[in-house]
Structure 1
Amino acid sequence: MKTPHPLKSIDIAELARRHFGSTPDALEPEERRVLAGIARHTHLSRDVSDLADEQSGRWERLADRVAAIGGSWGFILSFTGVLVAWMVLNAGLLQLWHLAFDPYPFIFLNLMLSMLAAVQAPIIMMSQNRQAAKDRIAAAHDYEVNLKAELEIMRLHEKIDQLRIEHLETISRHQAEMLELLHSRIEPRPGAAPDAAGPAG
């Protein structure tokens, strides 16, 4: 386990005190990540889909694929074609040769449809739960990015104010030096004779 660099810890503690009036341990995990990013001068923007994939398993990603296929027009048209072919074969062509494996009223077809609905519904719910988790990750990520932008703007204002104060202090110092130089040139030198020229007349 690597020991954290002391400078980073000091920076994070100083940032937490300055911007939140608290210690890093008392902050939320998102706020600590933002302060760590500011201290290390790293960016926080990432693809939310990649973050969600890192926190999901193989079966959750499979549920997403199944839900995506089941909610497409390709699946609807294909499944409609299978149903129509099933009914035409069992109620027409195969019925003529007494080879229908599921004659009207298609009891086996109803059983297959019920099983498909029973399996597909939980898969769709799993995908919806995963989408809700993605939304929560996206909201937390947006909060971190917005918080870092706000803190960076505040730090930028502080730097600009500090530069402005230093600039004004430099101007004031130069003015004082110029006034002192001006007074030294205007004041008569010791021992110098005053101007003896008087009014004519």
Structure 2
Amino acid sequence: MEKEPKVIDPAPVTDGLDNYFRFHRPHRHLGPVFGDDWFSLKAEAFARFFGTPVFLVTQTVIVAIWIGLNVVGFTKFDVYPFILLNLAFSLQAAYAAPLILLAQTRQADRDKAHADADAQHREALALASEQRETLAAHQACQIMELLQQNTQLTELVRDLSQRIEALTTEMHGKIVQGAVKP
């Protein structure tokens, strides 16, 4: 008798969603970009806001008004070459660049963690598929054995039926001969 293959369940089924994300659970700490505290959430919102059309349009409008007011002569708080405007842009860049770089680094960490989790998920699926194929092959072998046994039993029943028929015919002949002799 063949030894049955051991089937390993790659992930016990609890509920669909919980089981689906089982490889992502170890990387949950990477979810928030800067952390979970107030400053972190505001820093992430600020870094995300830098790339939006609202920010770009608002900044363009403010710079246009700033330059327009100073060129036309309506006010003289920052005349050409707009040193104060350059200082404001430098200050903005000094804060924006580290926030954006930090966000990109954490996003790269999240992407790597998700890629690792997806690879583990694919490996688990491949293992489960391989186990199903092994089980199917084993069951196919068992079915073939059962069919062979069924064929042998059918042949045995046929042989026994033929012997019973022969014995019945012989007994019938002897009984008929015994009844005819008196």
TM-score (norm. length: structure 2): 0.70
Q: Give 1:134's aligned residue.
A: 110
Q: Amino acid of the residue matched to residue 13 of structure 2?
A: H
Structure number with greater CO (CA < 8 Å, separation at least 6) is 2
Residue 55 of structure 2 corresponds to residue 75 of structure 1: yes
Pairing partner for 2:129 from 125, 138, 153: 153
- Please state how far the C-alpha of 1:60 moved relative to its aligned partner: 5.2
Taking a change above 3 Å as real, the CA distance of residues 170 and 139 of structure 1, as seen in their structure-2 partners, is: same
Residue 18 of structure 2 corresponds to residue 46 of structure 1: no
Checking the alignment, whether the CA contact within 8 Å between 2:70 and 2:79 is kept in structure 1 is yes
Taking a change above 3 Å as real, the CA distance of residues 131 and 86 of structure 1, as seen in their structure-2 partners, is: same
Taking a change above 3 Å as real, the CA distance of residues 77 and 114 of structure 1, as seen in their structure-2 partners, is: same
CA RMSD of aligned residues (A): 3.1
- Please state how far the C-alpha of 1:167 moved relative to its aligned partner: 1.7
Residue 32 of structure 2 corresponds to residue 57 of structure 1: no
Taking a change above 3 Å as real, the CA distance of residues 79 and 147 of structure 1, as seen in their structure-2 partners, is: same
Query: 1: distance between equivalents of 2:83 and 2:137?
Result: 80
- Please state how far the C-alpha of 1:41 moved relative to its aligned partner: 2.5
Pairing partner for 1:118 from 69, 81, 94: 94
* Percent pairwise identity: 22
- Please state how far the C-alpha of 1:101 moved relative to its aligned partner: 2.2
Instruction: Give the structure with higher Rg (CA).
Output: 2
Query: 1: distance between equivalents of 2:35 and 2:124?
Result: 30
What runs of 5+ residues in structure 1 fail to find an aligned partner?
1-12, 16-33, 196-201
Query: 1: distance between equivalents of 2:41 and 2:118?
Result: 23
Query: 1: distance between equivalents of 2:106 and 2:79?
Result: 41
- Please state how far the C-alpha of 1:119 moved relative to its aligned partner: 1.1
Note the 1:1-20 alignment, pairs <5 A: 15=8
Taking a change above 3 Å as real, the CA distance of residues 109 and 56 of structure 1, as seen in their structure-2 partners, is: closer
Query: 2: distance between equivalents of 1:56 and 1:167?
Result: 59
Q: Give 1:84's aligned residue.
A: 64
Query: 2: distance between equivalents of 1:146 and 1:154?
Result: 12
How many residues of Structure 1 are paired with residues of Structure 2 in the alignment?
A: 155
- Please state how far the C-alpha of 1:79 moved relative to its aligned partner: 0.5
Q: Amino acid of the residue matched to residue 81 of structure 1?
A: V
Taking a change above 3 Å as real, the CA distance of residues 64 and 93 of structure 1, as seen in their structure-2 partners, is: same
Checking the alignment, whether the CA contact within 8 Å between 1:63 and 1:127 is kept in structure 2 is no
Residue 149 of structure 2 corresponds to residue 177 of structure 1: no
Deviation string 1:45-78 (CA, Å, 9 cap, x unpaired) is 3397x94426861355544432321112221111
Query: 2: distance between equivalents of 1:155 and 1:64?
Result: 45
TM-score (norm. length: structure 1): 0.64
